Amino acid sequence: MTTDQLRRAGIDKSGIGRRVRAGRLHRVYRGVYAVGHEGLSREGRWKAAVLACGAGAVLSHRSAAELWSMLEPVDGVVQITVPVAGGRARRAGIRIHRHPSLSRAETTAQNGIAVTRPGRTLADLRPTISAGEFRLAVRQAEIQGLPIDTRALVPDGTTSELERMFIGLCRRENLPIPETNVRIGRDRVDFLWRESRVVVETDGYRHHRGWVAFEDDRGRDNRLLELGFEVLRFTYSRVADEPEAVARLVRRRLALAPRRVDPG
């Protein structure tokens, strides 16, 4: 139960304190208490984490997949999505994902726990796990007859976790899905909106560090510019931590780009 729920039940701050000292309430997170005993089930821990993160918070990502029985439960942090850009305090044992674009239509309740719907769960999950584990999650969803977003099942041609994260971002933010890992002239690009002539490169540190990589990347950008393409570059931290800002920039460039068809 939350502090607010206890107060609505007529238990004030001092009453909460007395019950905690007497072992009748057990603090799980700040402002969230277990009643009677401190040994929570896995579902009890998920529910407590959702309550701890405030209004609009929902279980998401792997934790949601486990609740939907798409994946076997594993020990680890509880993953929660909140529909705001900031303002929720960090809590031990909880990973908070901030997505202001999360709509109520993408959430529901399962076993009394606010959670992302199966389709949204798969879209969030795909960039964070291996392809094999993702296929297993999809198979389990299909076996159970869960309503799933078929867009999450289409092979996307990605070759790295960062690329999968970017495709997941495009789906969540309702951006047009780009071509992936395609050639333009002598160069291979990560993502291409051919009609808009916009290219996105996702730059992981491992493959883009050092002077040679720096020179190669700028040479490729210049060649693409000569062919009439605009190149946007995003690092892992921007894709992971600032998805809404990345989506706004891509959407703006797609809207501003001239509508020409690439002749070659």
Average pLDDT over residues 196-200: 93
User: Who contacts 182 (Cβ-Cβ below 8 Å, separation ≥6)?
Assistant: 188, 189, 192
DSSP run (H or E) holding 36: none
Higher per-residue confidence, 18 vs 50? 50
How confident is the prediction for the chain on average, in pLDDT?
79
Higher per-residue confidence, 201 vs 89? 201
Would you list the domain boundaries of the chain? Answer: 1-39, 42-151, 156-256
Q: Are 114 and 52 in contact (CB under 8 A)?
A: no
Query: For residue 200, what pLDDT band results from cuts at 50, 70 and 90?
Result: very high
Residue 64, number of CB atoms within 10 A of its CB? 29
The residue whose two tokens read 């997170």 is 29
How many whole angstroms separate alpha carbon 110 and alpha carbon 102?
A: 18
Average pLDDT over residues 145-170: 71
User: Who contacts 57 (Cβ-Cβ below 8 Å, separation ≥6)?
Assistant: 50, 51, 80, 81, 82, 88, 114
Query: For residue 137, what pLDDT band results from cuts at 50, 70 and 90?
Result: confident
How many whole angstroms separate alpha carbon 60 and alpha carbon 189?
A: 31
Q: Are strands 78-82 and 94-98 parallel, antiparallel or unpaired?
A: parallel
DSSP run (H or E) holding 54: none
Query: Which candidate, 258, 261, 253, 250, places its Cα nearest to that of 175?
Result: 250
Average pLDDT over residues 108-130: 88
CATH architecture observed for domain 156-256: 3-Layer(aba) Sandwich (3.40)
pLDDT of 143 above 50: yes
pTM: 0.54
CA angle, 249 then 252 then 253, to 5°: 85
For 59-106, how does the pLDDT look when each residue is reduced to its tens digit (9 = 90+)? 999 999 999 999 998 888 989 998 887 666 677 788 888 888 788 889
